[in-house]
Structure 1
Amino acid sequence: MTYALGTRLIAEFIGTALLVILGNGSVANVDLKGTKGNGSDWMLIAVGYGAGVMIPAMMFGSISGNHINPAFTIGLAVSGLFPWNEVLPYIAVQMAGAIVGQLLVVAAYKPHYDLTEDTQHILGTFSTINATKSKLNGFINEFLGSYILFIAALGITKAPFFQNNLGTAHMGLGFLVATLVASLGGPTGPGLNPARDLGPRLVHWLFPLKHKGSSDWGYAWVPVLAPILAGIAGIATYKGFFM
């Protein structure tokens, strides 16, 4: 069944919002002072982001394709797998969904934002930060993680093994993201998604938090450009060899 563009855009909006709520919400639970999960380990965050991709994928994979990521949308379009005239509408609702999702995270954790004085912990619940303040390392990390994400995501959803059960494939996407966060998340977060980073960073910049600190705009281009380039390369690689 083919869905109208408006229906698919609603799915992309809700899916991206869920990604941010479940993913950044898990970071807030770990890093903000006074939460029930404060001080928990990295695996809680990996599970949050994994579920943040898996649940929308199972809800909307058969409706909009569950891109929930501008880099995936652009990469598909460059390889001729998605119409260019729908790229900007998809990206617009993905950005809007990420912003709304982050606003809901702030609403849910507002007392704990007020208690937390570490500005890096606060920013980390919105956007990515390179642990060693290296843009080069951040770019390499984001590109590598995103390349694996996109080539694997396309491989999982297009593989003949899953064609009779795409629901299982969409579940696999959650394990893919959780593993990427666990394996490559140490240096940056990671972002792997321009909307997931840029939308919440805009919220951080504009929202009057008590201990906000810098939004680190000097680094903001890294988690936008690296995933886009990786999306183009990863999807082209899979298409070139396996489709």
Structure 2
Amino acid sequence: MAKMSGFLGELLGTFVLIVLGVGVNCGVNLNETYGKQNSDWLMIAFGWGMAVTMGVYVAGNIGSQGHLNPAVTIAEAVFGLFPWHQVSGYLLGQFLGAMLGAIVVTIHYYPHLKVTTPAEGNHVGIFATAPAIDQPVFNLLSETIATFTFIYVLLNLGNFTVGLKPFIVGFLIFAIGMSLGTTTGYAINPARDWGPRLVYTLLPIPNKGNSQWSYAWIPLVGPILGGLLAAALFKIQ
């Protein structure tokens, strides 16, 4: 058993290492990725990482497990790592929290939205995700792979709401963003995408662009698939 654990640990640990390491190289070198197109991608990825860190701290202190992500909640429930009777409350809280956050940001930046056109940046990409290259099959695979990697590492952290572990989660998000997020903007979280996208659609935001609902199924389905695969692997390792 120890020999098999050593093999699996080295295999899966090296797998994660190469996915994230080679992924970074691709994200900053290949044409038409967000990493190569956008000089601010480092700031965006780091900002989202710290956003998750602070969200996990708040959720954990209040008494939740800090999922903040339906893909995490559903995957853990399906594989017996989280009680089903709590799933509906977690999912409702995640989607409503995402919407409320997007509303507050809209109010905060409203004067700037008024003076920014879609071509200048007032587009759904501020609120939700969109692919750098629109190819649905590969976009779905990108979200599935990124979420699988994220949730698999997350599950191996154990209780990630304690001590400095939320910072580890934040840096994990940062690593995913830099390595695998440059193809689709790495939703890896249906609530993070659908909640703000709905707010962008419904609120009377001046000069706004198209909400791109035709793409929205990908950041919903891909993360759930990735989460289920990650939890399945975690259970059998």
**Alignment TM class, shorter chain as reference:** 0.7 to 0.9
Partner of 1:96: 96
1:167 aligns to what SS in structure 2? coil
Q: What TM-score do you get using the length of structure 1 for normalisation? A: 0.77
Q: Percent identity?
A: 38
RMSD: 1.9
The answer to whether the aligner puts 1:71 opposite 2:71 as a matched pair is: yes
Q: CA deviation at 1:168?
A: 2.5
Instruction: Give the aligned partner of residue 238 of structure 1.
Output: 234
**What's the CA shift for 1:204?**
1.1
Query: 1:166 deviation in Å?
Result: 3.6
**What amino acid is aligned across from residue 214 of structure 1 in structure 2?**
N
User: Superposed, which structure 2 residues align to 1:142-153 within 5 Å?
Assistant: 142-153=143-154
What is the deviation of 1:82? 0.9
Aligned to 2:202: 206
Deviates more, 1:127-136 or 1:51-60: 51-60
Letter in 1 for 2:174: A
Contact 1:119 1:212 in 2 (8 A): no
Instruction: Supply the distance in 2 between the matched residues of 1:111 and 1:134 (Cα, whole angstroms).
Output: 35
Q: Secondary structure at the match of 1:101?
A: helix
Contact 2:129 2:193 in 1 (8 A): yes
Q: Which runs of 4+ in 1 moved over 3 A?
A: none
1:23-60 Cα shifts (integer Å, max 9, x gaps)? xxxxxxxxxxxxxxxx8611111111101111122333
TM-score by length of 2: 0.78
Describe how 1:1-243 pairs up with structure 2 within 5 A.
41-61=40-60, 63-118=63-118, 121=121, 122-157=123-158, 166-241=162-237
Task: Indicate how the Cα distance of structure 1 residues 106 and 119 shifts in structure 2: closer, same or farther if over 3 A, else same.
Answer: farther
* 2:56–2:68 CA contact under 8 A, matched in 1: no
Number of equivalenced pairs? 198
Contact 2:187 2:219 in 1 (8 A): yes
Bigger mean CA deviation after superposition, 95-104 or 229-238:
229-238
Structure-2 change in CA distance of 1:145 and 1:120 (3 Å): farther
Alpha-carbon shift at residue 153 of structure 1 (Å): 0.5
Change (3 A) 1:120 1:184: farther
Please, which runs of 5 or more residues in structure 2 have no aligned partner? 1-37
Cα distance in 1 between the residues matched to 2:120 and 2:131: 11
C-alpha distance after superposition, 1:45-95 (max 9, x if no partner): 111110111112233336211000011000000010111111111101110
Compared with structure 1, are the counterparts of its residues 119 and 83 closer, same or farther at alpha carbon in structure 2 (3 Å cutoff)? farther
Displacement of 1:187: 1.3
Q: How many Å separate the matches in 2 of 1:44 and 1:106?
A: 20
Q: Which amino acid aligns with 1:216?
A: Q
Measure, in 2, the Cα distance between the counterparts of 1:120 and 1:228: 32
Q: Bigger relative contact order, structure 1 or 2, given CA contacts below 8 A and separation 6+?
A: 2
Distance 1:209 1:119, change over 3 A: farther
Q: Counterpart of 1:239 in 2: which secondary structure?
A: helix
Alignment CA distance shift 1:240-1:61 (3 Å): farther
Q: What displacement does 1:107 show?
A: 1.1
Task: Give the deviation of 1:213 after TM superposition.
Answer: 2.1
> How far does residue 120 in structure 1 lie from its aligned partner after superposition?
8.4
Letter in 1 for 2:156: G
